[in-house]
DNA sequence: ATGAAAGCGCTAACAG
DNA sequence: CTGTTAGCGCTTTCAT
């Protein structure tokens, strides 16, 4: 490995000068000529900075830890990471990602690894939007929660705006003239289920429609849940249905096909999540509401970096940022 | 930040001794008592090793680079990363992951980052199994290709065994008594399409069945492709069909439902990829062949590490390891 | 404008 | 058994 010392020697300058030339240091003025020369020599020798030494000397690692409880399991996490990575790079930082797969022991080791590597912050993310009890280690470093939040509000968090999402989904149907809109919601209480229900009710009330409990069906948030809800939905006399997520919609669509109910001719559908493999390829393609995954990652890292800058600023601590969920219009809604 | 020096001072020992104690160094014998004491002091002071300094001093970073062209876009990559991470950790290494999203510029920067960080090897992976022209930088460090391969065979590679997979899928149908088995294959030539076709033919020939070109249909490898292939498949008089992947099977199933053809009563189906969101939740649940994603990652890193150990060993260079694709039996096959 | 030199925190000979 | 010390490769202050 060729070191800066080698470059300096070969270029006939001191090691300090070589450092300045290589780093294009603005604080010090060295003649363009020597700068050029040094860089040329470095190039020829195939010099490559040693980030380990550099970090040690500067006291900055330029590393940001990213802990996820499931890139592997989830089709969502990928986009979040992409957003996080892009924002990190834009700031000259690089992500040190580890997927704990939900295992506390792995999480423990992940923290050690990261802290030992002197990461400048940690983004702690989950693939399901939910409340978490962040591990103590998180407090040892600047950090942010992504797609999850701390109930005791000790950390800033970035999450999707479920309420607005639920409202948007409902409004899509309302705008098409539907008045009797069924909602197949997830049975388990969760930020998504309570948030989306709230949004659904808000949209209805804004449109001057009274909430009808008979239009609300609870089920598991997967294909089977949607499939089993078909009977109740049909019996409710709804002309449109808002499904808790795309998987639910897929199951419902399946049941509808079997019963000869056509979508969107006989019944309009809107899903949630915009899980592409499913929504974009159903028959008909599913109109849905997307999760702002990329932005969650991007904004999470941005918050981390901003917070790091104004170190100690209390303002953002515990604050939760809700990111808008966009409408994705495809073909499953028929205008009345 | 408390340093080793602080610990040493507080424990009343030299910094070297402190290092021995903290690292549980076997090469040197220090009395259990001082070892305990040092560790206790370290604990109390909240000492945490500085991996940057450690790596610099030892000349080993314990970092392994993992370049992917799409964790974000693919539901497959996640499992590969999981396998890679597990194997890396088992060896005390940590993965430095970057997703290039297929962008050569990002890839370029990724290499710089990794090389500067002195990674001990790079796993270069793709989310579609295909031939790649690995960038020159890969040669600067111990490396391995995962789910892709170098046509000029300059690097070891780990890929799924498409031929065996195609054979397995076909055998699943054969075993159920089917003789007229249609194959909806991907139109574009690719390791997957040619491999699976080869496997299909082999299975047939082993079973003493002659290949019938009339049973082969080519289409795009997605839902739409499967949907459009329905007519030809039905016309072929097949009693079973092997779909190039689960998405194709999903589209086909859709078309079949519309035409009133029941699965598996009237027609048996087998997919490929075991894309859970789809295959596990179709009606009926899809019998398919899985991709050995986890193992690809695991074996890739293992190869990297092994190769690093016997540095210079020519044996493994350019060698491609084919990993078996397992059968995933669900409900879409009916025994004749 | 450029060089000398003191670290950054830790490891690993080498002495004692 | 334990302490001294010379680096690892680079940044940065302080002279020159």
Judge whether B319 and B299 are in contact, CB under 8 Å. Answer: no
CB contact under 8 A, A81 and B101: no
| CB burial string A63-79: b at 16+ within 10 A, e below | bbbbbbbbbbbbbbbbb
Question: What is the spatial distance, in angstroms and rounded to an integer, between the CA atom of A70 and the C1' atom of C6?
Answer: 46
Nucleotides of chain D touched by protein CB (<7 A): 1-5, 7-13
Exposed, middle or buried: residue A276 (CB in 10 Å: 0-12, 13-18, 19+)?
Answer: middle
Instruction: Kindly tell me if the per-residue pLDDT of B314 is higher than 70.
Output: no
Confidence tier at A29 by pLDDT (50, 70, 90): confident
Confidence tier at A72 by pLDDT (50, 70, 90): low
Whether A45 sits with its Cβ under 7 A from any strand D atom: the answer reads no
Please report which residue ranges of chain B form alpha helices under DSSP H.
Answer: 4-11, 15-23, 32-45, 51-58, 77-90, 104-116, 162-175, 191-206, 223-235, 246-258, 276-279, 293-309
Confidence tier at A314 by pLDDT (50, 70, 90): very low
Residue A28: the pLDDT is 74
The dihedral region occupied by A317, where left means phi > 0, alpha psi between -120 and 50, and beta the remainder, is beta
Instruction: Kindly tell me if the per-residue pLDDT of B303 is higher than 60.
Output: yes
Instruction: Kindly tell me if the per-residue pLDDT of B310 is higher than 70.
Output: no
Q: Lay out the sheet containing B181-186: strands in order across.
A: B216-219, B181-186, B240-243, B268-270
List of chain A residues whose C-beta atoms are within 8 Å of the C-beta of residue B120: none
For the segment A139-150, the average pLDDT, to the nearest whole number, is: 94
For the segment A302-317, the average pLDDT, to the nearest whole number, is: 68
Instruction: Kindly tell me if the per-residue pLDDT of A107 is higher than 50.
Output: yes
Question: What is the spatial distance, in angstroms and rounded to an integer, between the CA atom of B22 and the C1' atom of D3?
Answer: 16
Instruction: Kindly tell me if the per-residue pLDDT of B312 is higher than 50.
Output: no
CB contact under 8 A, A116 and B53: no
Domain annotation for chain A: domains and CATH numbers = 4-58 (1.10.260.40), 63-160+293-322 (3.40.50.2300), 162-291 (3.40.50.2300)
Residue B176: the pLDDT is 98
Residue B313: the pLDDT is 43
Whether A19 sits with its Cβ under 7 A from any strand D atom: the answer reads yes
Whether B29 sits with its Cβ under 7 A from any strand D atom: the answer reads yes
Residue A70: the pLDDT is 83
Nearest nt by C1' to B28 Cα = D1
CB contact under 8 A, B78 and A82: no
Instruction: Measure the CA dihedral A108/A114/A115/A120, to 10°.
Output: -140
Confidence tier at A219 by pLDDT (50, 70, 90): very high
Residues paired with A243 in a beta bridge: A184
CB contact under 8 A, A258 and B254: no
Confidence tier at B175 by pLDDT (50, 70, 90): very high
pLDDT tens, B100-112?
A: 989 999 999 999 9
Confidence tier at B315 by pLDDT (50, 70, 90): very low
What is the rounded CA–CA span in Å between residue A82 and residue A146? 13
Query: pTM of this prediction?
Result: 0.94
Please report which residue ranges of A186-332 form alpha helices under DSSP H.
Answer: 191-206, 223-235, 246-258, 276-279, 293-309
For the segment A303-324, the average pLDDT, to the nearest whole number, is: 75
What is the rounded CA–CA span in Å between residue A264 and residue A178? 12
For the segment B229-255, the average pLDDT, to the nearest whole number, is: 98
Residue B136: the pLDDT is 87
């Amino acid at each position: 490995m060729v070191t800066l010392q080698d470059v300096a020697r070969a270029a006939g300058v001191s090691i300090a000068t070589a450092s300045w030339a290589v780093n294009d240091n603005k604080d010090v003025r060295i003649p363009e000529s020597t700068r050029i020369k040094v860089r040329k020599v470095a190039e020829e020798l195939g010099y490559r900075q040693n980030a380990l030494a550099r970090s040690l000397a500067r006291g900055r690692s330029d590393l940001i830890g990213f802990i996820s409880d499931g890139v592997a399991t989830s089709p969502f996490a990928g986009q979040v990471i992409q957003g996080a990575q892009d924002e990190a790079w834009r700031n000259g930082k690089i992500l040190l990602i580890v997927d704990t797969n939900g295992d506390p022991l792995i999480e423990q080791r992940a923290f050690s690894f990261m802290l030992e590597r002197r990461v400048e912050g940690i983004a702690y993310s989950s693939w399901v939007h939910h409340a978490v009890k962040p591990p103590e280690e998180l407090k040892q470093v600047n950090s942010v929660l992504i797609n999850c939040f701390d109930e005791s509000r000790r950390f800033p968090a970035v999450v999707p705006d479920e309420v607005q999402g639920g409202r948007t989904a409902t409004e899509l149907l309302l705008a098409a003239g539907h008045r009797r809109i069924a909602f197949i919601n997830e049975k388990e209480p969760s930020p998504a289920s309570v948030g989306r229900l709230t949004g659904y009710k808000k949209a209805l009330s804004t449109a001057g429609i009274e909430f009808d409990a008979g239009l609300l069906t609870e089920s598991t948030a997967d294909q089977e849940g949607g499939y089993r809800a078909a009977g109740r939905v049909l019996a409710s006399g709804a002309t449109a249905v808002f499904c808790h997520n795309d998987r639910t919609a897929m199951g419902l669509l399946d049941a509808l096909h079997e019963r000869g109910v056509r979508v969107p001719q006989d019944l309009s559908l809107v899903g949630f999540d915009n899980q592409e493999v499913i929504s974009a390829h159903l028959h008909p393609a599913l109109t849905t509401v997307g999760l702002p995954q990329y932005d969650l990652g991007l904004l999470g890292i941005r918050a981390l970096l901003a917070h790091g800058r104004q170190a100690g600023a209390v303002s953002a601590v515990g604050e939760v940022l809700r990111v808008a969920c966009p409408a994705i219009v495809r073909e499953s809604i028929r205008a009345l």
